[in-house]
Amino acid sequence: MFEEPYLAPCATNYQQLTPLNFLRRALQVHADQPAVIWRDLTLTYTEFGTLVRRMAHWLKSQGISRGDVVSQVLGNRPELLAAHFAVPGIGAVLNTVNTRLNADEIAYILDHAQSRLLIGDASTQAAVDNTATPTVALCSAPGAGDGLDLFAGGLAEADLDDAPATETAAISLNYTSGTTGKPKGVVYTHRGAYLNALGNVVALGFDDRTRYLWTLPMFHCNGWTHTWAVTAAGGTHVCLDAIVPQTMVDLITVHSITHMCCAPVVLYMLLEHMTDPAGQRVKVGTGGAAPTPALIARMEELGFEIVHLYGLTESYGPVTLNDPVFESGTDLQQRAKRLARQGLRHQTTGGVFVLDDAGVNVPADGETVGEIALCGNTLMAGYYRDPEATAEALGSGVFRTGDLAVLHPDGEIQIQDRAKDIIISGGENFSSLEVEAVLHQHPDILLAAVVAAPDPKWGETAWAFIEVKSGCDTDPQALEQFCRAQLAGFKRPRKFILGPLPKTATGKVQKFALRQKAKEMTDEQ
């Protein structure tokens, strides 16, 4: 009786889930409230809506249509936020690119994404010089006259689509940092973005009084979907287009920031420049490295509350949150120990498991190590133009993250080790394999092994252990020069250590031993 046609979904009671609806709502119910603040510019939601529709019109005038990929290599500025609505709003797919990549890395992504158009600005111009993709530069500031100025008066506007053709249509394409060689293009859907954004609203408590400081790059997993989440809540996006510590301090004060997200390294920078406590409580989401007791203590003194997050590009950013409530008087070490966990899955995350090699849940004993596996609507549609890697990642019913963790009795997960040689430096993930691949091109190098070394400022940095070919000779300075030409700054080894590498009986480099050595050397410093 419940299956009869008159009870089937219809236009009144079924809408495609899409973040476009969040903007539509904000335009209706938060019209005069501040949507975006950038430098000395404040846009209300009504004005932001105009910017979005202008961009939509301009994109169409460039021949962009349904299914096309539009790339952006931009810092956090209003146009990049607008692109999160304008690009999917005309049925196209948004590809945000890490501004810290070098020209070759960016060219690879644009080529692989078959990008139809690249939008950069003066600050990223150099990095996009040698791409075949048509490129347009935004003005350095409204009215500056040195590039495309969507703030100029009288520009035409195009209405956004109400919804995508299906809610599982692609909304964005985010390239991983290339943990196993070349970057992979992770496809997000309207449905996944909608649900993950709502999950973030719940997890971080965004509402229409939220003033969100964009310390996190929007190019990272669409800003962990906070581009859409803060808009869903009707909050205010405060853009920070470059990490300048004193600017962060000023913005936190001037705009009464309530939320921000970043890697611990950004917090360290902040601490060096912030002397007076914020006038309000600021919730800080951080991940990639566990916050240390010293960081937690100092942040608290300044009015910050730290929560710890975990996720991957493949999961639209964070899927778990650790936001513990402590009884008053709980010792700092205890709190730090607890905050080191990655926490509990979001409401919109389908499942977070810790599995043994056979795919069975490990006991929730806080001791048995297994691999974190994920499933649900906030997992990627797949890797673009890579059916094999997609099948390998998604074919088993769960996505195995490569991260090793324990499951605590209270359901919280805690990462023990990265399985896939990922290094997280200053919030940027990259693969030791990628760095090794570069080193292996050096004519004098026999074998290179790159591992993460703990770093008080960056969380981790890459260290390279090098076996030189017999009869050859090189030194750290030469190797540093060699890497400089081929790797983004955050990927370059901070130390080159020459000598024989420890190997297993079968000749595999014992990375575990090298990590251990790097840790000991760091401790001695």
The residues of the shown chain that bind its own copies, judged by CB under 8 A, are 1-4, 6-15, 17, 21-22, 24-25, 28-32, 67, 93, 114, 168-170, 187, 192, 198, 201-202, 205, 207, 209, 232-233, 325, 344-345, 347-348, 350-351, 375-377, 379-382, 384-385, 387, 390-391, 393-399, 409-412
Residue 164 CB, nearest approach to its own copies (Å)? 11
Q: How far apart are CA 326 and CA 229, in angstroms?
A: 27
Residue 221 CB, nearest approach to its own copies (Å)? 15
- Tell me if 454 sits within 8 A of 519, measured CB to CB: yes
Residue closer to its own copies by CB (options 396, 516) is 396
Of 268, 259, 343, 283, nearest in space to 308 by CA: 343
Q: How far apart are CA 493 and CA 462, in angstroms?
A: 5
Residue closer to its own copies by CB (options 325, 358) is 325
Q: How far apart are CA 229 and CA 2, in angstroms?
A: 35
- Tell me if 240 sits within 8 A of 217, measured CB to CB: no
Residue 381 CB, nearest approach to its own copies (Å)? 5
End-to-end CA distance of the chain: 74
Of 427, 502, 433, nearest in space to 461 by CA: 427
How far CA 366 is from CA of 233, 331, 370, 477, in Å, comes to: 36, 21, 11, 44
Residue 202 CB, nearest approach to its own copies (Å)? 5
Residue closer to its own copies by CB (options 72, 172) is 172
Q: How far apart are CA 189 and CA 315, in angstroms?
A: 11
- Tell me if 308 sits within 8 A of 290, measured CB to CB: yes
For the sheet with 317-322, list strands across it. 41-44, 34-38, 236-239, 211-214, 259-262, 282-286, 304-312, 317-322, 344-345
Residue closer to its own copies by CB (options 13, 504) is 13
Cα-to-chain-centroid distance, residue 79: 18
Residue 462 CB, nearest approach to its own copies (Å)? 31
Residue 259 CB, nearest approach to its own copies (Å)? 15
Residue closer to its own copies by CB (options 32, 524) is 32
**Where do the DSSP E strands lie in 17-92?**
34-38, 41-44, 69-72
Residue closer to its own copies by CB (options 364, 446) is 364
Residue 114 CB, nearest approach to its own copies (Å)? 7
3-class secondary-structure state, position 441: coil
Residue closer to its own copies by CB (options 126, 165) is 165
Record the tokens describing residue 492, joined without a space. Answer: 């370059």
Record the tokens describing residue 253, joined without a space. Answer: 């004060």
Residue 120 CB, nearest approach to its own copies (Å)? 23
Residue closer to its own copies by CB (options 12, 275) is 12
Residue 420 CB, nearest approach to its own copies (Å)? 18
Neighbours of 21 (CB within 10 A): 17
Radius of gyration of the chain (CA): 23
Residue closer to its own copies by CB (options 394, 419) is 394
Residue 497 CB, nearest approach to its own copies (Å)? 40
- Tell me if 327 sits within 8 A of 372, measured CB to CB: no
Residue closer to its own copies by CB (options 109, 435) is 109
Eight-class DSSP state of 503: B
